[in-house]
């Protein structure tokens, strides 16, 4: 199996012995094996997913607080009738 790497400019797989990417022509960066690059990509994706999930949870908590306030107002109005 050939050692391959991922071009940091275009993201395509290239032979790790290449000095330049044959797809985009950019200079190949320091050699990093494909499994290491894949791990790095997955860690980045997981980090983005966690941030998205956290911001989504915060938005849902804020919406829930607003709904609780509206419900309290409704119940207070119903009790006064």
The residues facing 20 across adjacent strands are 27
Residues 49 and 23 both lie in one domain: no
Residues 3 and 27 both lie in one domain: yes
* Segments of the chain assigned E as strands: 4-6, 13-15
48, 57 contact by CB (below 8 A): no
Residues 50 and 16 both lie in one domain: no
Q: 16-57, pLDDT tens digit by residue?
A: 888 888 999 988 876 566 677 788 888 888 999 999 999 999
Report how many domains make up the chain: 2
Residues 77 and 48 both lie in one domain: yes
Residues 54 and 74 both lie in one domain: yes
Residue 17 lies in domain: 1-32
* Segments of 18-64 assigned E as strands: none
The residues facing 6 across adjacent strands are 13
pTM of the full structure: 0.46
Q: How far is 81 from 35, CA to CA, in rounded Å?
A: 68
Whether 1 has a pLDDT exceeding 60, the answer reads no
Residues 14 and 46 both lie in one domain: no
């Amino acid at each position: 199996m050939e050692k391959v790497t991922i071009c940091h400019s275009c993201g395509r797989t290239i032979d790790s012995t290449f000095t330049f990417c044959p797809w985009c022509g950019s200079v190949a960066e320091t050699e990093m094996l494909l499994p290491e690059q894949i791990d790095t990509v997955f860690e980045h994706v997981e980090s983005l997913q966690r941030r998205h999930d956290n911001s989504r949870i915060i938005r849902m908590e804020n919406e829930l607080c607003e709904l609780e306030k509206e419900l309290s107002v409704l119940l207070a109005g119903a009790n006064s009738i």
